[in-house]
Structure 1
Amino acid sequence: MPRQSPPSQPQHPGKLEPAIWQACAGPSVEIPKPNSMVYYFPQGHFDQASSAPRNLSTHLLAKPFITCSVVSVDFLADPLTDEVFTKMVLQPVGNNFPAESFHTPAAPPPNDDKDNDVVSFAKILTPSDANNGGGFSVPRFCADSVFPKLNFGADPPVQNLSVTDVHGFTWEFRHIYRGTPRRHLLTTGWSTFVNNKKLVAGDSVLFMKSAAGRLFVGIRRTIRSFPERGNCVKLRLIEEEDKEEEEEEDEEKEKRVFKRDGKGKLSAKVVAEAAELAARNMPFEVVYYPKAGWSEFVVKTEVVDAAMRIAWSDGMRVKMSVETDDSSRMTWFQGTVSAVSFQDNGQWCGSPWRMLQNCTLLNKKLILKGYMG
C-alpha cells in the first residue's frame, strides 16, 4: 500500500447521518426529535461553558427551566477533535414569534430502521495502539462483525480497508492477521491516522459498518484537565469589568484550538445570549456535546415530569444504568439519596436543577435522566 498523506483539516463542522452520529455518541445518548416538547435548563447549559456567566438578567434568573418545542436538530462533528455534537433550535412555548424566521428545518429523512442499521465496536486505545510508529490491535469481535471477511486461505490473510471519518475523508488501512499467537492488526496507514487525529492512550476509536457495508471511523476523546489553565480562568473572573470584552475574544480564539480538557468548547457569552433569548420567549440555538458525566440540559418534558412525580426522600435507594467508556455494555450504579432540596435563595431560586444529592451517583444525572428507580 502506498504511503498515505493526511487529509487537510476541515474548517467547518459537517452534517452526519443520524445513525452514524448516534453510534459515535453511544446508545445512552438521547436527542429529542423535531416537534417534540422539552425543558431547557439554563443552569445546565452554563455548566458546559468555558467560564462562569456574569450580568445575567433578573428575568432569566426567574426562569430556572423553560418549556420549548424543538424546531430542528443538526447532527455534526467537531472539525478539530472529531467529537460529535448537535445543534438544536428551540422555540419557547407560548410565543407568537415565527420560529421559521430563525431557521427553516429540512424535511426529515424517511424512517427506515433497516437502512439506518449500524454495527459498531469501540476500543479504548492502549499505549501501544497510540504509538505513532506502531499498529492497532483489532479486537476479534470488531474484525468479525465490522470488517470484511479475510481470506484465511492466504498466507498471511491480508486486505486493504477504506474507512471514512466523520468529515467524509477516506483513510486506507492494511488489515492483516499474523503473529504468535495470531491476531488482527491494522498496520500501514494507522500511524498517519494517529498523528493526524492527535490520538493518545485513553481515547476511544469507534469502527462502524452501515447497512450498505460502508466502513466509518469515529473518535471519543478522553478528558484531561489542566489545573493551571483552570486557575487562570478563575483569576480572569475577578478582573475588572472593563476587561470583559477582551476575555470574550480570548474565549472565541480558544474555541478554534484543539484541546482535550473537556468542557469549555462554548463561550459564556454565546451561552448567555441563548439563555437570554429563551427567557424572552424568542427562538434560540444551543450546542450540546454528549460526554460521559455531563448532564443534559435539553430534556424531554415527559422524562422530567415523570421524575418530578417521584416522592424523593432522604435515604431512598436508587440505581441507574451508565454506558461503559468503550460502549461495550451498560453497567449499573447504585446509591442512597442523602438530601432533597430546591434552591430557595440566591440565583435560580426554586430551580430543580441539582435537587438531589447522592452519596455515589452524579446528582444532576439523577433528576435529568428522569430516573425511575
Structure 2
Amino acid sequence: VERIDESMKLSTSATSQQVHEGEKKCLNSELWHACAGPLVSLPSVGSRVVYFPQGHSEQVAATTNREVDAQLPNYPTLPPQLICQLHNVTMHADVETDEVYAQMTLQPLAPVEEKDTYLPVEFGIPSRQPTNYFCKTLTASDTSTHGGFSVPRRAAEKVFPPLDFSQTPPAQELIARDLHDVEWKFRHIFRGQPKRHLLTTGWSVFVSAKRLVAGDSVLFIWNDKNQLLLGIRRASRPQTVMPSSVLSSDSMHIGLLAAAAHAAATNSCFTVFYNPRASPSEFVIPLSKYAKAVYHTRVSVGMRFRMLFETEESSVRRYMGTITGIGELDPVRWPNSHWRSVKVGWDESTAGDRQPRVSLWEIEPLTTFPMYPSLFPLRLKRPWYPGASSFQDAGNEAMNSSMAWLRGESGEPGGFNALNFQSVGMFPVVQQRFDPTAMRNDVGQYQAMLAAAGMHGFGSGSDLMKHQVMQFQQLTSVNS
C-alpha cells in the first residue's frame, strides 16, 4: 500500500483508518525487507506478540525530533508490556519519499485467552534479505545532475547482467523496478581512466525524481526471477518543518497511548505503524522472543555481551559491551517495564552512536546459565516469581495472576526485581544442562502434564500441547 493520511502515518497509531481506494499496490516483499534492513523481522500474522508503548513513543520522538513531554497525561491502566494477538501485517511505502513502514493490527488478549500464552512458539519471520544485491551510500558526485553513478566493480559484476566486452565501450541498458513498480532505465557503461562501471543516461532523472542527496543510499537487487529491483534509504535528517496536516508531537504521543489504553481496557483492536528506519528499536516483538529473554536468560552487572548492528553496506556486525546496570528506564511512568532495562557501556570508539540502554531480548550475553530445556515454560521446579503456583497447582486464577505479572501490572513485591537479574558478586545456581538421558527420564512428567492440561480444560491449546509432547516423545525415542 503506497499512500495513507500523513498525520496518521507520523502519529503511527489509530483505532480505525482506511487506505484510500485506488491507491493500493502489492509491494515486493524482498525489496521491502532490503530497504527496511537486515535486522528487521516482522511477526507472523496470527501469532502472539508483545507491544511496548514506550518503544512506540520513541518512534514518534525520533520521527518528530522531539522527546516526550513530561507533562503528558499518564495512563495507569496501560501496562508497560501489552500481550496481543497479531491479526494483520501489511507492508507499505510512502509514494513521495519511498519510506518503508509496516501496518499492524493488534488485539490485547482477554483474560480467558491468556491461559494459553505460556506456550509461545512463534519467533517471527526473519528478514528475507536478498543474496545478489549491493547497497551504496551516495557521494556528492553520485547526486550531481551532470554526473553519473559510480558502481563498485564487485557489485556490478555480482548484481548486473554481464557486459559484452567485445564492444567499445562495453555498455548495456538496465531496467530496474522500484517499490511502486515504476520502471527506471539506466545506461550501464564501462569506461574512464581507470576504467569503472557507471550508470549514466537516466540516472540524473532518477536522482531528481527521488530528491536524493549525498548520504542517502541506493540498493540494487537481482532476484530469482532475473529482475533488477531498486530501492532507496534516506539518511536520517531531522524534520524541522512539519506539514500543517500533521499532528503535533504531543498529540501523537497522547493519541497512541490513549488508543492502546482503550484497546487494553476493552480488548478491542488497534492499529500501529512501525517505521524500521526511524524507530530506534522494534516495539512489537514475538511473545516467544520476549519470554525467552526474560525467563531463560540470566544477566548481571559486569557481564559481557554482544549485539548486532547494521553497517553502511547493509550487512551486519557485532559490537561488544559490558552491562553496567539493570533497572527501569522510567520507574515513575512505566514501573515494572522491561523496555531498555539494561544499562550498557560499549567497547568501540563509536560508542557515541550506540544506545546507552538496551532491552534484554536485543543482546546476547557471553556468559549464560542455560535453563532446563522445557517445552513448557511454566513447568519449573521453582515458580516464575515468588508466590506463583507451580504447573501442577495452576488453575485459572494462578494463570491469570502470572500473566498479569508478565505484563507488569500485578503489583507483586517481586515484580521487575524477580527477573533473572543478578547483582555484582552474586552468581546464580547453575541450572541443569541439556541431557538427553535426563529428558528420557522425564517423559512421565510430561505425560502427566498433558493429562493435567486436559483435566483443567485448556481448550484449543491442548491440541498444541499434545502435538509438542508427541514431538518430545519422538525426540527421546531417537536419543534412546
Out of 282, 285, 297, the position equivalent to 1:296 is: 282
Query: Given the alignment, which residue of 54, 66, 75 partners 1:43?
Result: 54
The reply on whether 1:81 has 2:97 as its aligned counterpart is yes
- Provide the residue aligned with 1:239 in structure 2: none
The answer on 1:322 being equivalent to 2:309 is yes
Q: Which residue of 2 aligns with 1:286?
A: 272
Q: Is the 8 A contact 2:339 2:358 kept in 1?
A: no
Q: Aligned equivalents of 1:82 and 1:343: distance in 2?
A: 33
Is 1:308 the counterpart of 2:294 in the alignment? yes
Match of 1:23 in 2: 34
- Could you list the per-position Cα deviations for residues 8-35 of structure 1 after superposition, in whole angstroms to 9, with x for gaps in the alignment? x978574412222112222211111111
**Cα shift at 1:88:** 1.0
The 8 Å contact of residues 130 and 201 in structure 1, kept in 2 or not, is answered as yes
Which structure has the larger Rg?
A: 2
Q: Which amino acid counterpart does residue 252 of structure 2 have in structure 1? A: S
The correspondence for 2:334, drawn from 348, 354, 358, is: 348
1:32-111 → structure 2 map (5 Å cutoff): 32-49=43-60, 50=64, 52=68, 54-60=72-78, 63-94=79-110
Which residue of structure 1 aligns with residue 141 of structure 2?
128
Q: Equivalents in 1 of 2:338, 2:3: separation in Å?
A: 40
Tell me how many residue pairs correspond in the alignment: 317
TM-score, structure 1 normalization: 0.77
What is the percentage of aligned positions where both structures have the same residue?
Answer: 39
Aligned counterpart in structure 1 of residue 192 of structure 2, from 179, 195, 199: 179
CA distance in 2, matches of 1:267, 1:166: 27
Q: Which residue of 2 aligns with 1:243?
A: none
- Measured after TM superposition, the shift of residue 138 of structure 1 is 0.9
Is the CA contact 2:3–2:94 (under 8 Å) kept in the aligned structure 1?
Answer: no
Q: In structure 2, do the counterparts of structure 1 residues 282 and 149 end up closer, same or farther at CA, with 3 Å as the change threshold?
A: same
Segment of structure 1 superposing worse, 292-301 or 143-152: 292-301
Distance 1:58 1:304 in 2: 22
1:248-281 Cα offsets, whole Å, 9 max, x none, are xx776248xxxxxxxx7x9335423442244222
Q: Secondary structure at the match of 1:353?
A: coil
Higher relative contact order, chain-length normalized (CA < 8 Å, sep 6+): 1
CA change 1:297–1:30 in 2 (3 A) is: same
Match among 243, 246, 253 for residue 245 of structure 2: 253
Alignment RMSD (CA, Å): 2.9
Q: Which has the higher mean CA deviation after the structures are superposed, 182-191 or 9-18?
A: 9-18
SS at match of 2:132: strand
> Is 1:216 paired with 2:229?
yes
The residue identity in structure 1 corresponding to 2:53 is: P
Contact 2:341 2:358 in 1 (8 A): no
Query: Which of 146, 167, 170 matches 1:154?
Result: 167
Which stretch of the first structure deviates more once superposed, 188-197 or 45-54?
A: 45-54
Read off the aligned partner of 1:253 and give its amino acid letter: S
- After superposition, the C-alpha distances for 1:64-107 in whole angstroms (9 at most, x for unaligned) are 0111121111111122211211111112122789xxxxxxxxxx
Alpha carbons of structure 1 residues 156 and 139: separation in structure 2 relative to 1, 3 Å: same
Match of 1:369 in 2: 362
Deviations along 1:115-137, one digit per CA (max 9) or x if unpaired, are x9662211111111121221000
Q: Tell me, what secondary structure is at the counterpart of 2:300?
A: coil
The alignment partner of 1:73 has SS state of strand
Q: Which has the higher helix share?
A: 2
Question: Which residue is 1:188 aligned to?
Answer: 201
**Gap regions ≥5 residues in structure 1:** 1-8, 98-110, 233-249, 256-263
Q: Normalised by the size of structure 2, how large is the TM-score?
A: 0.60
Q: Distance in 1 between matches of 2:206 and 2:320?
A: 39
Partner of 2:185, secondary structure, is strand
